[in-house]
Chain A
Amino acid sequence: MSSEFEISRSITIGQYVPTDSYIHRLDPRVKLLLFVVIVVAIAFNTSYIGNAIGLFLSLYLFWASKIPISYGLSGVKPAIPFIIILALLQLLFQGQLFSGGKVYVDYGFILITSESIRLVVVSAVRFIEIIFLSSVLTLSTSTTQLTHSIQSLLSPLKKINFPVHEISLITTISIRFVPTFAIEMEKMMKAQASRGADFGTGGWWRIIQRTKETFPIIIPLFNIALSRAEDLILAMESRCYTPGGNRSSYSVYKTLAKDYLVLLVGLLFAYLLIFYPFPF
């Protein structure tokens, strides 16, 4: 029973695994940029070979960053039933849209073609690739590094008055407050439970009851969040924080030759995934 209230423990944001590998020591900006580019490239690629290469790359990155593959698999495991259901739905009902290629089954509204099978396999593999890639990124880069690199990557946008520093401050505040609110939420759940509220005891089919149970948590959660925001606003203003001022940073990242090399290889890879006409 007590495990239901242990929210703050189950939060895995910034689940950094320090193994000091080659991947860990790369410039975080390079990592983030390549992550975005390669995920987009994978999202556009629809060939078997392209996705096999993507899968191989994501497994290789796990090996290179010396992070146990079980971390990646733990992200995939809860998704397996969804993958299977989605694959079945796509297989049975998407044939009409992808009627190209060889027809295998044509029975009533069910039409299974080589193209629809391709769609099913590719979207399942693509999903696993993206889980692996995002796990490697978050496991090998600390949240501080990530927010710094977001700020630094977006800094060219300052020229068009895009609030880069503000965006990165917002991200930092968000990440910083998640554990605080988790603790607050735990307290509230305990307080409500001690007054006789029950959480999660109704069956999953009693949707209305389950929904009503969440109200006494969510509404105070917002109120606590907003009153904490008031405190923070006051604290920042009393220290004369002005948005849009020029600031220097405590930690400065240096992009070395090896970072440029990795960046080049990664961009080339993404280019190939998007534009190379894979035969299969």
Chain B
Amino acid sequence: MKKSLTVRDIVIAGVLGAVAILLGVTRLGYIPVPTAAGNATIMHIPAIIGGIMQGPVVGLIVGAIFGISSFLNATVPLFKDPLVAILPRLFIGVAAWLVYVGLRRKNEYFAVCASAFIGTLTNTVLVLTMAVVRHYLTPAVAWTVGITNGIPEAIVGTIVTLAVVLAWKQIGKNKKSKISEDM
């Protein structure tokens, strides 16, 4: 772990965490999909954006905030289990960051898209794996949920992340604070 977080890391993680909580409590973060799991989600997007913008630690923290808020707000028994709700979410931002850093040299846009896609898949796959391990779903049901929820989630996740990160690069050109970069 890094020795200490910068002011920028702290604030961005906090703000993205707030967005994750807000998407959860207003139900705006749910895409209604008629499957056993009920809803596809886009609440993991802040974690991906955190990972892309500020690195794995911020991604992990935003993921943890998302996990805890989804655990506290859950109306489905599946997500009232901390092992399903919190643990898998820690890896979303980290995976997104790994993909982004790996591909950034080649093409910025492609790297953002790929890391959003992989970040979403990390969420879907790990949550469903934990759901099967904890006996909430059978492997067959998990596969159907994975396909019917995972694909729309991945597409929406990629579009939103790309739009936000590109807009951010524009804002980022005239960042107000110049100190963070030096620290």
Interface residues of A (CB under 8 A from B): 7, 10-13, 39-40, 43, 75, 78-79, 82-83, 85-86, 89-90, 93-94, 97-98, 119, 123-124, 126-127, 130-131, 134, 138, 161-163, 166-167, 169-178, 180-182, 185, 204-205, 207, 210-211, 214-215, 217-219, 221-223, 225-234, 236-237, 241, 243-244
23 contacts between A and B (CB under 8 A): A12-B25, A13-B21, A40-B82, A43-B82, A89-B36, A126-B77, A161-B4, A162-B1, A170-B13, A174-B18, A174-B21, A175-B21, A180-B18, A211-B31, A218-B42, A219-B167, A222-B164, A223-B168, A229-B11, A232-B15, A233-B180, A236-B11, A243-B6
Q: B160 CB to closest chain A CB, in angstroms?
A: 6
Main secondary structure of the interface of B (DSSP, over half): helix
Binds A, one of B89-97, B103-111, B136-144: B136-144
Known: A93-B141, A131-B80, A167-B61. A173 touches B26 (CB 8 A): no
Q: How many A-B residue pairs lie within 8 Å, measured between CB atoms? A: 200
User: Which chain B residues border A138 with CB–CB below 8 Å?
Assistant: 72
CA distance A225 to B45 in the complex (A): 13
Residues from 117 to 147 in B contacting A, C-beta threshold 8 Å? 135-138, 140-141
Residue B78 at the chain A interface, CB threshold 8 Å:
yes
User: Which chain A residues border B45 with CB–CB below 8 Å?
Assistant: 218
Let me know if B177 and A233 touch, CB within 8 A.
yes
Let me know if B136 and A90 touch, CB within 8 A.
yes
Interface residues of B (CB under 8 A from A): 1, 3-19, 21-23, 25-26, 28, 31-34, 36, 38, 42, 45-46, 49, 61, 65, 72, 75-78, 80-83, 135-138, 140-141, 152, 156, 159-160, 163-164, 167-168, 171, 175-177, 179-180
CA distance A167 to B2 in the complex (A): 13
Let me know if A166 and B5 touch, CB within 8 A.
yes
